[in-house]
């Protein structure tokens, strides 16, 4: 039984590493497709610019994430948005 559990653990670790690598590749691709520098005009006429905040990375608990800022052009504030891998599914 112990040998079977060891083999199962190896399969899980291999699958997890592959999925995590693919997830980071996808997050990098998504992040770099965001039209940074683009202007947004809000309903009240106020304008803002989309800017990168934190490049895709892995935090201490293994979460893959990236952060985006949308800054008011008049300097009065900004919004922060987070892209992160929320899960996965399908055949592994």
Q: What are phi and psi of 79, to 5 degrees?
A: -115, 145
Number of neighbouring beta carbons within 10 Å of residue 27: 20
Do the domain assignments include residue 89? no
DSSP assignment letter at 62: S
What CA–CA distance (Å, rounded) separates 28 from 38?
Answer: 19
Q: What is the pLDDT along the chain (92 residues), one digit of tens a residue?
A: 777 888 888 888 888 888 889 999 999 999 999 999 999 999 999 999 999 999 999 999 989 999 999 999 999 999 999 999 888 776 55
Do the domain assignments include residue 92? no
Do the domain assignments include residue 71? yes
Do the domain assignments include residue 90? no
pTM: 0.79
Do the domain assignments include residue 91? no
Do the domain assignments include residue 69? yes
Domain around 12: 2-84
């Amino acid at each position: 039984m112990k040998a079977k559990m060891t083999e199962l653990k190896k399969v899980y670790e291999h699958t997890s590493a592959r999925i995590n690598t693919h997830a980071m590749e996808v997050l990098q691709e998504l992040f770099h497709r965001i039209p940074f520098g683009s202007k947004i005009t809000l309903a009240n006429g106020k304008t803002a610019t989309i800017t990168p905040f934190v490049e895709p990375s892995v935090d201490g608990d293994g979460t893959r994430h990236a952060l985006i800022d949308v800054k008011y052009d008049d300097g009065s504030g900004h919004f922060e948005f987070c892209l992160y891998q929320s899960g996965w599914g399908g055949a592994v």
